[in-house]
């Protein structure tokens, strides 16, 4: 087997791309300088009273910018399409784009459907009016699909934990020394210092982030909302107390907290299990109060609904916090949990403690945001109207204040997923919590950085992956903010 070059037989596109990129870079610089130095285009008043402005030199630069940008995008698409068609014939880039085929297809379908029906899709549809939001959404969905398909073993070329002898620290595109029948014959992005496939590890790492980050953020939001709404609405002692607690956690340096919480010794004492038991009860409280405050006037409907929903929620809660029949199981004592035959899923202690500490670190910030919003909104007229109507305080909080605070909360949710991703990476970077072989991005960066002065390829792919995902989430949040402000 030949080693793969980066672009293989589509190398004729490279000079074109270089040219387009150079044109783009130059026109951006000229554009910025021009906006400061060049005079503004003269405005002419026409006979019929309308005004028109000449395009001038500045307009010309803008046109060049637009076309060179389109050229770059078209060339990138050409790389991907040719790569999908030619596979390894088009080098590493071709092979990678072929591996990502399910992701491309899902992205195309998702975008086509969303753009076609965007007027009926509310805020989500409006996202497709903003280019920034679309780019962000595209980046985020790319990694979400990569995570999901990677977990289904569609994208990965090798097992992320298998070591192939002779592939230690090999550069991207190196063929396997003796590939077996049906085995992928190359390490597309090279091998790391334990001779594992960097590409497959990166793809598998996406699944870890896609699983944990949104879920942990959602739990943090449930905790923050359930505590922040009453703190803002009632005020007084409750507010003082809860704010003190939130400031307490916020004053803790995050890394110190992680180092104290996410160690095997602490896991052995069961402290994370207690924290999980406390933190995960908030979603149940939230859902219970939410439904009860809405339907308590119709007990015939409310009671079966609550029994059904809370039953399932409590079952999930118990299976979440109990492992092997115990909630807390230390050497000296243990607390009985759900028996194993009812336990739906088990979360390894390491993952649980990571999850709990990320939720724990994020919820005070959410609490402060929700509290501030509640303080602001409770003075509005519709809240006063609801109070006059005789609605209960929880109905007002959850069905009057919360829906009206959704805009900032959705934006913050996107930003916070990005922040959680960064936190997960930090944990991996310090080797905390996640198992040492785990392919998550933080751990891979940490392993790769030791040999960084000689071998770049093990550390850079996960670093760029993390960067692009967090960037996507930030852009998405920006697009959402812009579009929600337009109303």
Partner 1 sequence: MGVFFLRRLGTMLLTALVLTFIVFFLTNLQPNLEKVAKFEGNARMTDAEVASWLEKRGYTQPLLKRYGEWLGVSKGWTYTSDEGRVTGRCIRDNIPAEEAPQRCGLLQGDWGQSSVFKVSAGKVVSEKLALTGRLMLWVMLLMVPLALIVGILAGMREASVLDRTLSTFSIVTTATPEYVSGVIFIAVFTSSAVGLKWFKGTATQAMENPTFENFFLPVLTIALYGMGYIARMTRASMTEVMTAQYIRTARLKGVSFGNIVMKHALRNALIAPFTVIMLQFPWLLNGVVIVETLFNYKGFGWALVQAAGNNDIQLLLAISVVSVFVVLVTQLISDIGYVYLNPRIRIS
| Interface positions with partner 1 (CB under 8 A) | 28, 31-32, 34-36, 244, 247-248, 250-256, 259-261, 263, 265-266, 268-269, 271, 418, 422, 425-426, 429-430, 442, 445-446, 448-449, 452-456, 459-460, 463-464, 466-467, 470-471, 473-475, 478
| Residue 147 CA: distances (Å) to CA of 107, 156, 415, 460 | 13, 10, 19, 18
DSSP state string for 82-145: HHHHHGGGGHHHHHHHHHTHHHHHHHHHHHHHHHHTGGGSHHHHHGGG-HHHHHHHHHHHHHHH
Q: Which H helix or E strand runs over 327?
A: strand 326-329
Who contacts 261 (Cβ-Cβ below 8 Å, separation ≥6)?
271, 272, 353, 356, 357, 360
Residues 210, 147 contacting (CB under 8 angstroms): yes
Which CB, 48 or 331, lies closer to partner 1?
Answer: 331
Burial class of residue 393 in the structure, from the number of CB atoms within 10 Å of its CB (0-12 exposed, 13-18 middle, 19+ buried): middle
Angle formed at CA 258 by CA 252 and CA 260, multiple of 5 degrees: 85
Which CB, 31 or 394, lies closer to partner 1?
Answer: 31
Instruction: Name the minimum Å distance from CB 446 to partner 1.
Output: 8
d(CA 324, CA 398): 36
Which CB, 297 or 453, lies closer to partner 1?
Answer: 453
Residues 412, 421 contacting (CB under 8 angstroms): no
d(CA 414, CA 420): 10
Nearest to 199 by CA among 164, 247, 236: 164
3-class state of residue 433 by DSSP: coil
Instruction: Name the minimum Å distance from CB 142 to partner 1.
Output: 15
Residues 189, 461 contacting (CB under 8 angstroms): yes
Instruction: Name the minimum Å distance from CB 22 to partner 1.
Output: 18
Which CB, 71 or 460, lies closer to partner 1?
Answer: 460
Instruction: Name the minimum Å distance from CB 364 to partner 1.
Output: 12
Instruction: Name the minimum Å distance from CB 395 to partner 1.
Output: 34
Instruction: Name the minimum Å distance from CB 365 to partner 1.
Output: 11
Instruction: Name the minimum Å distance from CB 312 to partner 1.
Output: 35
Which CB, 47 or 256, lies closer to partner 1?
Answer: 256
Instruction: Name the minimum Å distance from CB 450 to partner 1.
Output: 11
Burial class of residue 89 in the structure, from the number of CB atoms within 10 Å of its CB (0-12 exposed, 13-18 middle, 19+ buried): middle
DSSP state string for 337-366: -S-GGG------HHHHHHHHHHHHHHHHHH
**Tokens encoding 372:** 């501030």
Facing residues of 43 across strands?
A: 53
3-class state of residue 293 by DSSP: helix
Which CB, 30 or 338, lies closer to partner 1?
Answer: 30
Which CB, 185 or 249, lies closer to partner 1?
Answer: 249
Which CB, 192 or 478, lies closer to partner 1?
Answer: 478
Which CB, 40 or 48, lies closer to partner 1?
Answer: 40
Instruction: Name the minimum Å distance from CB 451 to partner 1.
Output: 10
d(CA 165, CA 191): 10
Which CB, 109 or 268, lies closer to partner 1?
Answer: 268
Instruction: Name the minimum Å distance from CB 256 to partner 1.
Output: 6
| Residue 371 CA: distances (Å) to CA of 227, 241, 247, 405 | 8, 13, 13, 11
Which CB, 226 or 421, lies closer to partner 1?
Answer: 421
Instruction: Name the minimum Å distance from CB 268 to partner 1.
Output: 5
Which CB, 254 or 310, lies closer to partner 1?
Answer: 254
Nearest to 277 by CA among 330, 356, 216, 202: 356
Which CB, 171 or 385, lies closer to partner 1?
Answer: 171
Instruction: Name the minimum Å distance from CB 331 to partner 1.
Output: 9
Instruction: Name the minimum Å distance from CB 252 to partner 1.
Output: 6
d(CA 276, CA 271): 9
Nearest to 256 by CA among 426, 107, 116: 426
């Amino acid at each position: 087997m030949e080693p793969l070059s980066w672009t293989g037989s589509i190398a004729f596109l490279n000079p074109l791309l270089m040219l387009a990129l150079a044109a783009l870079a130059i026109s951006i610089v000229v554009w910025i300088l021009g906006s400061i130095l060049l005079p503004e285009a003269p405005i002419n008043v026409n006979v019929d009273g309308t005004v028109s402005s000449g395009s001038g030199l500045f307009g010309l630069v803008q046109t060049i910018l637009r076309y060179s940008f389109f050229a770059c995008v078209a060339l990138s698409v050409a790389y991907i399409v040719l790569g999908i068609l030619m596979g390894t014939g088009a080098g590493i880039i071709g092979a990678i784009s072929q591996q990502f085929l399910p992701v491309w297809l899902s992205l195309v379908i998702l975008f086509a459907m969303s753009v076609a029906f965007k007027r009926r899709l509310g805020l989500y549809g409006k996202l497709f009016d903003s280019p920034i939001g679309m780019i962000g959404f595209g980046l985020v969905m790319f990694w979400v699909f990569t995570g999901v398909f990677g977990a289904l073993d569609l994208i990965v070329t090798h097992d992320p934990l298998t070591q192939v002898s002779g592939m230690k620290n090999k550069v991207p595109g190196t063929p396997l020394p003796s590939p077996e029948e049906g085995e992928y014959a190359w390490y597309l992005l090279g091998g790391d210092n334990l001779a594992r496939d960097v590409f497959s590890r990166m793809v598998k790492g996406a699944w870890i982030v896609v699983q944990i980050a949104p879920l942990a953020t959602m739990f943090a939001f449930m905790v923050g909302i359930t505590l922040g709404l009453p703190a803002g609405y009632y005020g007084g002692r409750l507010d003082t107390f809860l704010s003190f607690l939130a400031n307490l956690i916020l004053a803790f340096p995050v890394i110190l907290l992680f180092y104290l919480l996410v160690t095997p010794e602490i896991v052995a004492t069961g402290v994370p299990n207690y924290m999980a038991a406390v933190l995960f009860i908030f979603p149940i409280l939230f859902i219970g109060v939410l439904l009860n405050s809405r339907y308590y006037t119709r007990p015939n409907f409310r009671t079966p609904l609550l029994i059904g929903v809370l039953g399932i929620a409590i079952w999930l809660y118990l299976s979440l916090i109990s492992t092997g029949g115990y909630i807390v199981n230390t050497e000296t004592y243990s607390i009985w949990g759900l028996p194993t035959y009812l336990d739906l899923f088990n979360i390894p202690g390491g993952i649980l403690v990571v999850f709990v500490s990320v939720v724990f670190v994020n919820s005070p910030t959410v609490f402060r945001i929700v509290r501030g919003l509640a303080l602001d909104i409770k003075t509005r007229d519709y809240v006063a109207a609801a109070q006059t109507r005789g609605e209960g305080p929880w109905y007002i909080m959850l069905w009057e204040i919360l829906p009206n605070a959704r805009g900032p909360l959705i934006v913050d949710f996107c930003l916070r997923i990005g922040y959680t991703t960064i936190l997960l990476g930090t944990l991996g970077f310090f080797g905390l919590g996640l198992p040492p072989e785990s392919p998550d991005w933080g751990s891979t960066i940490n392993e790769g950085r030791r040999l960084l002065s000689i071998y770049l390829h093990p550390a850079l792919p996960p670093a760029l992956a993390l960067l692009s995902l967090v960037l996507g989430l930030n852009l998405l949040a920006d697009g959402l903010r812009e579009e929600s402000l337009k109303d």
